[in-house]
Structure formats: structure tokens, C-alpha cells
């Protein structure tokens, strides 16, 4: 009988408390799916707590579990990339290590995949345990990126998703350093479908994404998927030039009609400061893109692997 291969990829950074609670739930969810050869791959993204020991413990009791440890903390996007790079057969499902993406939904994802969808993603209809500020900013972010990006970035959609073998293969070809995964999935295309779900609160620990990191993440997303801010700088410049021109005409007319007693220090200061501000903003915008260009041009690898333990294989003895 035909069986499908599915690998659940979990990126974990300091999740020692959540993982022992999460693993049994994943196992239970996978057990309920017929004709499925299921694997689990945990990526330890350079954790500083006992995550790796906890993972070794889990793997020693479950032959379907593979473990990957990165050489340091590369961030969630790189950790996921490392995990997905190893899934060379079958589909992959991405799950957060903190239990915020309920593993109980995996059967629904697999059902959609079997219907013929390549990119099955979970859309959060409710976020438990997250403050209003995070909700409001997240909402605003998805609206902005949705308008700016030419390819779809579905709203309220995280990394909780299942990727078919061909969309995985496609994603593997995108090696950009600034990886805004939510956008990359949509850029790849193919048939996608959304599964609404209620996002639970974390099982344990605190979110690694504080407001500042989220802000940077938002800038990452916008600069990775749109050059609209550069266009904005152009228009800002044009508008300022137009206003400056009109104002110039007014000053000349005023001088001709009523003479030109030297005054107007406040006006001059505000004009200088305003123009300086506009110029710095435009420069900063260019700098954002230039910096990313610089990072790309270095062509560094996206991550380094410290250890890899394939499912069911005894780890090699280290010399």
C-alpha cells in the first residue's frame, strides 16, 4: 500500500521546558494518520539551556526522531532553513516548539496535502496569551506587507505550514541571506490553502520575539519583498521640491513687492531642519537596502551544523 512521507520540522531555541510536553502531542497526532511514514526533525538553534539534552533524551526513546544542532543561534528563519534542507523526501510540516501551533491539527494539514495542495498554512483566528500591543502591531504589519508585496503574504499566518515535496524543492533554491520565510513561501507559488486555527499560549517560557525584534523583523519583511520605500523617498523628495519651489516664488514676490528687510531666522531654521530631516530619511532608506545588498554579496552560508543525528541511527562516536 502506498504511504506518504512527512517530516515534522521543529526549530527550538531554549525550549527545554516545552519540548517534553510537545513531543507526545506530535506523536499522538501523527499516530492518527493512515498510510503515513512520519518523522520528526528537531533543530536546536544554538540553545543555551538544556534543550539539546532534552532532545537527545527524546530521540533515544523514539527511532523516528532526527536531531540537528546548529553551531550557534542563527535565528528561527535560518534554523527552519537548515531543517527543511534535510527533508529530501516527502513533505515537511513546520511547527513551533512552544506548542503555540497545536500538533492536533496535523491530520487536517495532511488531508489538505492529499487533496493536492502544496502549501497548507495555518491562519490564526485567535491569539491567546499575547498582549494587545502585539496583536495591534501584528495586524498592522500584515496589512502593510500585504499591500507592498507583489506576491501574496497571507495575513495572520505564521510558519505553521505543510509544504509539498515540490514546493520544498523550490524553496530550497532560494538562498537569500535575509530570509523572510512568510514571504518566500508565497513567492514560490503553487496551490495554497489556509486552515484557520486558534493560537494557544506558550506551554512554557517566554517569547523570543520582543517588540524590538518584531520591529526589525517587519523591516526585514518589507525590504525583502518590496522596494516601495525607495519609491516613497523619490516622491517625498519631489513633494518637498515642489513645496520649496512654491515657497521660493512667494519669497521672491514678497521681496519685490515689499522689499527685503533681513529677518526670518525662524523660517530659515525650520526650512533647513526640515530639508535636513527629509534628506536623512531618504539616506537611511537607501542605507537599509544597501546594507542588505552588502550582506548578500558576501555569500556566506546560511548556517553551520554542529551535530546531526539521523532518525534511527546511532550517533557516531566523536573523536
Q: Which residue has the cell 493560537?
A: 199
The reply to whether 65 sits near ligand UDP by the rule CB under 6 A is: no
| Residue closer to ligand UDP (CB basis): 95 or 282 | 95
Among the listed residues 94, 46, 98, the one whose alpha carbon sits nearest the alpha carbon of residue 74: 46
Pinpoint the alpha helices (H) of the chain.
Answer: 19-31, 51-61, 76-86, 106-115, 132-148, 165-172, 181-188, 211-225, 228-258, 265-298
Across the strands, what pairs with 122?
A: 195
Q: Which stretch binds Mg ion (CB under 5 A): 55-63, 100-108, 255-263, 274-282?
A: 100-108
Q: Which stretch binds ligand UDP (CB under 6 A): 106-114, 203-211, 265-273, 282-290?
A: 203-211
Task: Confirm or reject binding of residue 101 to ligand UDP (CB under 6 A).
Answer: no
Q: Which does 6 bind (CB under 5 to 8 A by kind): Mg ion, ligand UDP, none?
A: none
Q: Which of residues 17-46 bind Mg ion (CB under 5 A)?
A: none
Identity of the residue, 26 or 282, whose beta carbon is nearer to ligand UDP in the bound complex: 26
Are 143 and 214 spatial neighbours (Cβ–Cβ below 8 Å)?
no
221 part of the interface to ligand UDP, by CB under 6 A: no
- Which three-class secondary structure state does DSSP give residue 123? strand
Cβ neighbours for 88, distance < 8 A, ≥ 6 positions apart: none
d(CA 80, CA 71): 14
Judged by CB under 6 A, does residue 207 bind ligand UDP?
yes
* 228 phi and psi angles, rounded to 5 deg: -55, -40
The residue number with the shortest CB distance to ligand UDP is 207
CA distance linking residue 161 with residue 159, whole number of Å: 6
Query: Is 104 or 260 the residue whose CB approaches Mg ion more closely?
Result: 104
**Pick from 8, 11, 68, 162: which binds ligand UDP (CB under 6 A)?**
11
What part of residues 30-59 is at the interface with ligand UDP (CB under 6 A)? 45
Contact (Cβ atoms closer than 8 angstroms) between residue 107 and residue 22: no
Nearer to ligand UDP, 117 or 142 (CB): 142
- Return left, alpha or beta for 156; rule: phi > 0 is left, psi -120 to 50 is alpha, else beta: left
Residue 49 is classified by DSSP as: S
Q: How many helices (H) and strands (E) does the chain have?
A: 10, 8
> How many C-beta atoms surround the C-beta of residue 183 within 10 A?
20
If the CB atoms of residues 117 and 121 are measured against ligand UDP, the closer one turns out to be: 121
User: Which is closer to ligand UDP, CB of 77 or CB of 118?
Assistant: 77
CB of 81 to ligand UDP, least distance (A): 11
> Is residue 14 at the binding interface for Mg ion, with CB under 5 A as the rule?
no
Q: Which does 15 bind (CB under 5 to 8 A by kind): Mg ion, ligand UDP, none?
A: ligand UDP
Residue number, 208 or 292, with CB nearest to ligand UDP? 208
Q: Does 100 bind Mg ion (CB under 5 A)?
A: yes
Positions in the binding site for ligand UDP (CB under 6 A) = 11-13, 15, 45, 73, 75-76, 79, 96-98, 100, 207-209
Positions in the binding site for Mg ion (CB under 5 A) = 98, 100
Amino acid at each position: 500500500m502506498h504511504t506518504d512521507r512527512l517530516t515534522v520540522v521543529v526549530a527550538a531555541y531554549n525550549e527545554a521546558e516545552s519540548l517534553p510536553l510537545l513531543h507526545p502531542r506530535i506523536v499522538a497526532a501523527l499516530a492518527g494518520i493512515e498510510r503515513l511514514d512520519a518523522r520528526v526533525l528537531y533543530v536546536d538553534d544554538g540553545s543555551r539551556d538544556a534543550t539539546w539534552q532534552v532532545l537527545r533524551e527524546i530521540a533515544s526513546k523514539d527511532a523516528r526522531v532526527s536531531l540537528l544542532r546548529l553551531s550557534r543561534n542563527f535565528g528561527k528563519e535560518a534554523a527552519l532553513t537548515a531543517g527543511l534542507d534535510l527533508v529530501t523526501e516527502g513533505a515537511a510540516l513546520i511547527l513551533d516548539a512552544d506548542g503555540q501551533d497545536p500538533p492536533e491539527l496535523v491530520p487536517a494539514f495532511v488531508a489538505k496535502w492529499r487533496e493536492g495542495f502544496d502549501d497548507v498554512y495555518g491562519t490564526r483566528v485567535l491569539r491567546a496569551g499575547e498582549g494587545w500591543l502585539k496583536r495591534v502591531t501584528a495586524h498592522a504589519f500584515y496589512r502593510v506587507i500585504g499591500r507592498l508585496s507583489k506576491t501574496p503574504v497571507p495575513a495572520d499566518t505564521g510558519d505553521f505550514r505543510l509544504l509539498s515535496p515540490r514546493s520544498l524543492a523550490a524553496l530550497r533554491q532560494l538562498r537569500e541571506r535575509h530570509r523572510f520565510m512568510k514571504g518566500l513561501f508565497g513567492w514560490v507559488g503553487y496551490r495554497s490553502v489556509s486552515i484557520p486555527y486558534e493560537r494557544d499560549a506558550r506551554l512554557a517560557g517566554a517569547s523570543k520575539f520582543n517588540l524590538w525584534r518584531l520591529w526589525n523583523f517587519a523591516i526585514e519583511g518589507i525590504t525583502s519583498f518590496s522596494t516601495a520605500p525607495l519609491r516613497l523617498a523619490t516622491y517625498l523628495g519631489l513633494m518637498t521640491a515642489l513645496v520649496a519651489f512654491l515657497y521660493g516664488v512667494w519669497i521672491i514676490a514678497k521681496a519685490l513687492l515689499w522689499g527685503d528687510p533681513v529677518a526670518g531666522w525662524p523660517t530659515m531654521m525650520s526650512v533647513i531642519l526640515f530639508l535636513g530631516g527629509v534628506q536623512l530619511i531618504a539616506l537611511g532608506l537607501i542605507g537599509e537596502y544597501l546594507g542588505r545588498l552588502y550582506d548578500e554579496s558576501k555569500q556566506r552560508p546560511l548556517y553551520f551544523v554542529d551535530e546531526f543525528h539521523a532518525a534511527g541511527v546511532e550517533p557516531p562516536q566523536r573523536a
